[in-house]
Amino acid sequence: MKKQAILNNNTTCQTRISSIKDTMDILSGKWKFHILGTLIQGEKLRFMDLLREVDDIGSKMLSKELQDMEMNHLVSRTVLNTKPITVEYEITEFGKTLSPIIDEIAKWGIAYRNALHNKTE
């Protein structure tokens, strides 16, 4: 019976590790959390608005990251019938499920910075 419990635990562990890997593959990179956080706060934003909001990102990189997130159903893209053409990006309902995770990462980052700052004093 004990051997079965170990095998079940190993399967659970493997599923968990695979799920974490999948998540990291989708959200990896320097910019995705910044873009997602900006869209969560800003609702619908145009490409140029995002380019201004995300410090130091280039237009090619922003375009690539938005395409990746659109492919993964985290962001939706709407082309408006204007002259010149306007493109708006919006966080999807599924993308909004990342909001508590992004909030927790931000809280951890603040605590980490505070801990480092306090150690240097």
- Is residue 72 domain-shared with residue 92, that is, in the same domain? yes
Give the mean model confidence (pLDDT) for residues 54-75: 96
Q: What are phi and psi of 36, to 5 degrees?
A: -60, -45
Over the stretch 46-57, which tens digit does the pLDDT of each residue have? 999 999 999 999
**Residue showing tokens 């700052």:** 117
Over the stretch 92-106, which tens digit does the pLDDT of each residue have? 999 999 999 999 999
Q: Can you give the residue range of the structural domain that contains 90?
A: 31-120
CATH number, residue 81:
1.10.10.10
pLDDT value of position 121? 60
pLDDT value of position 10? 79
- Measured torsion, CA atoms of residues 19, 25, 29, 34, in degrees rounded to the nearest 10: -50
- Is residue 23 domain-shared with residue 48, that is, in the same domain? no
- 3 state DSSP class of 21: helix
- Is residue 1 domain-shared with residue 56, that is, in the same domain? no
Rounded to whole angstroms, the Cα distance separating 48 from 96 reads 22
The number of distinct structural domains making up the chain is 2
- Is residue 10 domain-shared with residue 35, that is, in the same domain? no
- Is residue 55 domain-shared with residue 104, that is, in the same domain? yes
- Which range has the worst mean pLDDT, 23-27, 110-114, 115-119? 115-119
- Is residue 1 domain-shared with residue 53, that is, in the same domain? no
What single DSSP character describes residue 73? Answer: T
- Is residue 36 domain-shared with residue 19, that is, in the same domain? no
- Is residue 60 domain-shared with residue 111, that is, in the same domain? yes
